[in-house]
Homo-oligomer: A and B are copies of this chain.
Amino acid sequence: MTYINELDTPCVIIDLNKLNNNIKDMQRFASKNKVTLRPMIKTHKMPQIANMQIKNGAKGITCAKISEAEVMAKAGIKDIFIAYEIVTEDKIKRLLNLSKKVKLSVAVDSKYGVDMLNKYFKKANNNIDVLIEINTGLNRCGLNNLDEIYSLAEHIMNSSNVYIKGIFTHAGNVYGAKDKNEVNDIGKYEGNFIVKIKEYLETKGIKVDTVSTGSTPTAKISGKIKGVNEIRPGNYVFYDAIQHSLGVIDIGSCSLSVLSTVISKPTEKRAVIDAGSKSLGLDKGAHGISKVKGYGIIKKFSDITIERLSEEHGILSLKNSKIKIGDKVEIVPNHACTVVNLFDYAYLTDGEKILDIFRIEARGMVK
C-alpha cells in the first residue's frame, strides 16, 4: 500500500506536513507569548502526535478522561492534567496509580469532589494537585461566583492531601459565535475573567500558580492576556470544517480528512458515499450549535453538499458535478475530534503517498 488512492474506504488520512505546521504554529504563539502549551489530546488520541507536541515544546498534555491519560502515560508522557472532575472511588484509585508514574493534576469544581480525592489520597498517604474549574460562559462544569470559588479554594486549603495548583477554564461557548469578532470577544472575556479570579484569590491569600485557558478558537486571544500563563487548545492539530466556519483558519490548514467512495448514483442529482454517521459523525457544531453546511466539506467538489447521513451512507446532493460510482472523495469533517474516535488507525501521508500508520490508541477511552 503506497498511495492514498489505493486505500480501502472509509478511512482517516492525515497530511503530515499540515499536521506539523499546525503543531509548530501553535507552539510559536505560546513561546512568543511566554505561555505554557498543554494541548488537549482528546482530539487526536494518538501517543505519536502527543509526542510530536511535546518534542515541539509543549510542557505536558491535557486529557479529558483518565482512561486517555493512562494510554498517554504508558506511551511515555510525563506531565498530565485531567481537565475533568473525578468524583468516584474507582476512578480515584486509578488516579492514585497514575500519580505514581507521572506529574498529575486534576479538575475540581465541588467540595464533594475535593473530599473524595482527599479521602483516598490520604488513605494512600499520597497527595494530588488540583485546578479549580471556572465557568467563563460555556455553562457546563465549573463555578463563576467569586464567593463560591473562594469557599471551594479555602476548602482545598483545609484538605490535608489536596493542593491547589491553579485555575482553568474552557470557553467552549465560542463554538456558538456568529463571527470572528464574537470569537475575539469570547476569548478576551475568557482570559480577563479568569485573571480576575486569580487576583481575587490572591488578595485572599491563596496562591494561584497556573492560570489556564484556551479552546482552539480562543487560545491565541486569551493566551495574550496578562496573567494567563497556560493554554490548552486541542483541535488545532487537525482543524476541521467547524473551525473553518468560525473563520479560525483557511480550509487548506485542515490536516485530517475522511476518504470515502461513491457506491451509488440513483439519479443525476443524488449520489451516495460509503461514509455515514459512523465515519463522519453527526456534529454540526462542537457544542450542538449549527453553523456549518452539511456534514463535511468535499475537497475539489465545492458544489456538492453532504445533505444527509445514515449510519453507513452519506447522501450527496449534486449540481453539475460529474462524480460517478467508484470515485473516491476526500472529506474535511465537521468535527475532527469525534471522527478520530470512530476509527482504529489513521494513515499519515505527504498528500499522496502513505508514510506511516498511527494507531488511535485512546479511541473509545470514555471512562
Contact = CB atoms under 8 A, between A and B. Distances in A.
Contacts of A261: 87-88
Given A65-B312, A87-B326, A312-B64, A264 B141 contact: yes
Interface stretch (A47-55, A206-214, A270-278, A351-359): A270-278
Interface in A101-153: 109-110, 112-113, 116, 133, 135, 139-143
Contacts of A283: 277, 282
A204 B274 CA distance: 33
A16 interface: no
User: What is the interface residue range for chain A against chain B?
Assistant: 35 or more
B315 A140 contact: yes
Given A283-B282, A325-B113, A367-B11, A140 B342 contact: no
Given A87-B261, A110-B265, A113-B325, A313 B141 contact: yes
Contacts of A135: 266
A310 interface: yes
Given A338-B277, A342-B341, A364-B344, A311 B10 contact: no
Contact of A366 (B10, B112, B113, B338): B10
B364 A263 contact: no
A88 B308 CA distance: 23
Interface in A283-297: 283, 286-288
A163 interface: no
A226 B263 CA distance: 32
A143 B267 CA distance: 9
B338 A311 contact: yes
Given A261-B88, A282-B283, A342-B366, A309 B288 contact: yes
The 10 closest A-B pairs by CB, nearest first: A141-B264, A282-B282, A85-B263, A112-B325, A8-B90, A64-B312, A279-B366, A85-B264, A288-B308, A141-B272
Interface of A: 8-11, 42, 64-65, 84-88, 90-91, 109-110, 112-113, 116, 133, 135, 139-143, 172, 261, 263-266, 270, 272, 274-275, 277-279, 281-283, 286-288, 308-313, 315, 324-326, 337-338, 341-344, 363-364, 366-367
Given A110-B264, A113-B264, A172-B310, 11 more contacts: A8-B367, A9-B367, A11-B367, A64-B312, A85-B263, A87-B325, A112-B325, A113-B263, A141-B313, A282-B288, A312-B366
